[in-house]
C-alpha cells in the first residue's frame, strides 16, 4: 500500500512530507551527521553507511531524493562506547534510545535523537521522545562454531519475530485499517499470547541475544536487526569491517570494503535509479525543526 493511501486510511493524523520539509530535514540530519563524525573521530570510533544511505553516497553523492533518514552501522563495542559518551557529554543536545535502557522504547533498533526537534513517523506513534533521528544498526559478532551460530541464530530469529508480534498486538487498532491480511492478524494473535512479557522486556531479551557472542576475532559478523535478519545478514569480518572512504553530501564517511557485493545482494542493480512513480513521499505524525529552522 502506498504511503498516501496509508495517510488517508489511518486513524492517526498523518501528513505527507513536502519537498520543502524534506530538504530542511536533510539539512538538520547533516548537522547531526557532522556532530557524529566529530565525536567518533575524537574517540576513535567507527561507523559505516549502510542500506539506502550507502546507495545514496555511491549514486547520488548524498541522500537518495526521497529518503527521510540516515542509516548507519557500528560495531557493538563502538556503539556501547558512543552511548555512554552521548549520555555523559552530549545529553544537553542529544538523547539516545537503547533497547536495554529506555522506558517505553520497546524497539531493537537504537536511535540518536536531536533534542528541541520533533519528527515522529507512524511506527513511532507510541514513543514519548520524537526528535529527528539517525538509526544505528549494531554490527554483532557471529560465532565460529556452527552449533553456536545456529543456536544463536534460531533464538535471534524467534526473539525478533516475537517482538514484532508483540508490537502488532499493541498497535492492532492503529494498523488494522491498512494491514488487514491474515498474516497480520495471526501475528497480532501470537503477540497477545506472548503478552506475559512487556514489549520493553522482549526488546531487552532480543538485544541480549543479538549481542550474545563476545568473540571480536570471529570470522563473521552480522546485523541481525536489519531487514534480512540473522541468517541473511552475515558477512565476512575481513570485508565488512574494513572500510572505503566515500563522500556523503561533502562529508567524508565510510562504507564496507565489500560494498558492491553487499548492496547487490540486497538490492540487485543498485546503481540504476528506480522509477520515481514507485516512490511516494514519507508520512509523519509530528514535524518541528525548532530552533534549527533558523540555523540551516
The set of residues, in sequence order, having a beta carbon less than 8 Å from that of 89 and lying 6+ positions away, is none
Burial class (CB in 10 A: 0-12, 13-18, 19+), 179: middle
- At 5, list the grid cell: 493511501
Q: Domain locations in the chain?
A: 3-141+220-294
What is the reported pLDDT for 1? Answer: 44
What is the reported pLDDT for 77? Answer: 97
What is the reported pLDDT for 122? Answer: 81
**For domain 3-141+220-294, is the CATH number 3.30.460?**
yes
pLDDT along the chain (296 residues), means of 10: 52 83 97 98 98 96 93 97 97 92 78 94 80 96 98 98 91 70 86 91 95 97 96 96 96 96 92 73 88 90
Torsion sign (Cα): 189, 97, 239, 155 = negative
Judge if pTM exceeds 0.75. yes
Dist CA 241 CA 220 (whole Å): 10
What is the reported pLDDT for 125? Answer: 79
**Length of the chain measured in residues:** 296
Closest CA to 247 of 53, 74, 82, 29: 53
Closest CA to 77 of 126, 44, 53: 44
Amino acid at each position: 500500500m502506498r504511503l498516501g493511501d496509508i495517510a488517508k486510511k489511518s486513524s492517526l493524523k498523518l501528513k505527507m512530507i513536502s519537498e520543502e520539509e524534506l530538504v530542511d530535514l536533510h539539512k538538520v540530519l547533516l548537522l547531526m551527521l557532522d556532530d557524529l563524525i566529530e565525536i567518533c573521530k575524537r574517540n576513535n570510533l567507527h561507523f559505516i553507511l549502510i542500506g539506502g544511505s550507502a546507495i545514496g553516497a555511491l549514486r547520488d553523492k548524498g541522500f537518495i531524493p526521497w529518503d527521510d533518514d540516515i542509516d548507519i552501522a557500528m560495531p557493538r563495542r563502538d556503539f556501547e562506547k558512543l552511548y555512554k559518551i552521548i549520555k555523559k557529554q552530549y545529553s544537553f543536545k542529544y538523547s539516545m534510545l537503547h533497547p536495554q535502557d529506555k522506558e517505553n522504547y520497546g524497539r531493537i533498533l537504537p536511535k540518536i535523537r536531536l533534542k528541541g526537534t520533533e519528527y515522529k513517523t507512524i511506527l513511532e506513534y507510541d514513543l514519548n521522545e520524537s526528535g529527528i533521528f539517525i538509526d544505528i544498526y549494531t554490527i554483532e559478532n557471529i560465532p565460529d562454531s556452527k552449533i553456536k551460530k545456529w543456536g544463536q541464530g534460531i533464538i535471534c530469529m524467534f526473539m525478533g519475530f516475537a517482538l514484532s508480534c508483540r508490537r502488532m498486538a499493541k498497535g492492532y487498532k492503529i494498523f488494522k485499517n491498512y494491514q488487514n491480511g491474515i498474516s497480520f492478524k495471526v501475528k497480532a494473535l501470537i503477540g497477545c499470547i506472548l503478552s506475559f512479557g512487556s514489549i520493553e522486556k522482549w526488546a531487552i531479551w532480543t538485544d541480549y541475544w543479538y549481542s550474545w557472542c563476545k568473540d571480536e576475532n570471529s570470522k563473521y559478523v552480522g546485523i541481525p536487526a536489519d531487514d534480512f535478519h540473522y541468517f541473511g545478514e552475515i558477512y565476512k569480518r575481513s570485508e565488512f569491517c574494513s572500510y572505503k572512504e566515500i563522500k556523503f553530501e561533502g562529508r567524508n564517511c565510510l562504507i564496507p570494503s565489500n560494498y558492491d557485493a553487499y548492496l547487490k545482494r540486497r538490492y540487485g542493480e543498485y546503481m540504476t535509479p528506480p522509477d520515481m512513480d514507485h516512490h511516494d513521499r514519507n508520512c509523519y505524525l509530528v514535524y518541528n525543526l525548532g530552533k534549527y529552522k533558523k540555523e540551516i
